[in-house]
Amino acid sequence: MTVPFSTRRGPAGAGFALAGCAALTVVLTGCADTVSGHAVAAAPSGVTRHIGAVLTTLLPDPAQFPARYPAVVLPPEAAAQAAGDLNGAGRGAVVTPAGCTPPDQKFGADQTAIAVGTDNDTRATLTVELIRTDKPLSAWRSQLRQCGSVRVSKGAAASTVTTELDAPPPIDADDTMALRRTVTPDVGAAGLTQSMRTLAGQVGDVRITVTYMTFGSGKPDTAALDELFTTAVRKVKKG
């Protein structure tokens, strides 16, 4: 699989209604005529399927991470810290606009599970995060579309978080998404800016994100990102 950040599956589109034949801007021979095209499913409005396995058991095993990224599974407190790094706004931070604040997240064995692999030579990490959620992936995508650039402050520290959506990865899941994110501190030396590429998918009530993060300016390891995302989604689907 080749990802962004292919022939890719685009985000689900919305249907449309016609008040009558006159509403068309092209001339048809009658309302009963066949119009060529393909039906597109509407984006899911809620989560209806529960994945019964405990989240920690659905994480890829450390041995399933790409070879250059030896991995560990994080305990809940460390997972909470890592989650804040991934969304650019740790616990207790103030986000402006307020509507761009990341959704509340619970931490525990069956609420959030995170495994991190690190390439010590490049300071790059690959992080798999599984979240139990009752919201569809489309809700997060809608928020991000309105929050391309936000300000995050905590105490005297402040940063700018920019997010861009990319074409979604083509994989068998309920929904998928891809994004690029940069966290730039107001004050800091070179090498403190976080650059991330994230692939996200949802299977039932489990949201899967795999993020490549680096503090350097080198080319992102998209092959490793693709590989690990595929592994993570398949494991969740197997339950």
**Average pLDDT per block of 10 residues along the chain, 239 residues long:** 38 38 37 38 65 95 96 93 91 93 86 96 95 95 96 93 96 96 83 92 97 88 97 95
Q: So what's the pLDDT on residue 60? A: 97
The string of pLDDT tens digits covering residues 103-140 is 888 888 789 999 999 999 988 999 999 999 999 999 99
The string of pLDDT tens digits covering residues 60-78 is 999 999 999 999 999 988 9
What is the fold of 44-238? Protein Transport Mog1p; Chain A (3.40.1000)
For residue 185, cis peptide bond before it (omega within 30 degrees of 0): no
Residues near 134 by beta carbon (within 8 Å), at least 6 away in sequence: 46, 47, 205
pTM of the entire structure?
0.79
Check if the beta carbon of residue 183 is closer than 8 Å to that of residue 159: yes
Rounded Cα gap, residues 130 and 110, in angstroms: 9
Sequence ranges of the domains in the chain: 44-238
123 beta partners: none
Closest residue by Cα to residue 199 from 144, 142, 127: 127
Q: So what's the pLDDT on residue 6? A: 37
Q: Position of tokens 């494991």? A: 235
Q: So what's the pLDDT on residue 18? A: 34
Q: So what's the pLDDT on residue 35? A: 36
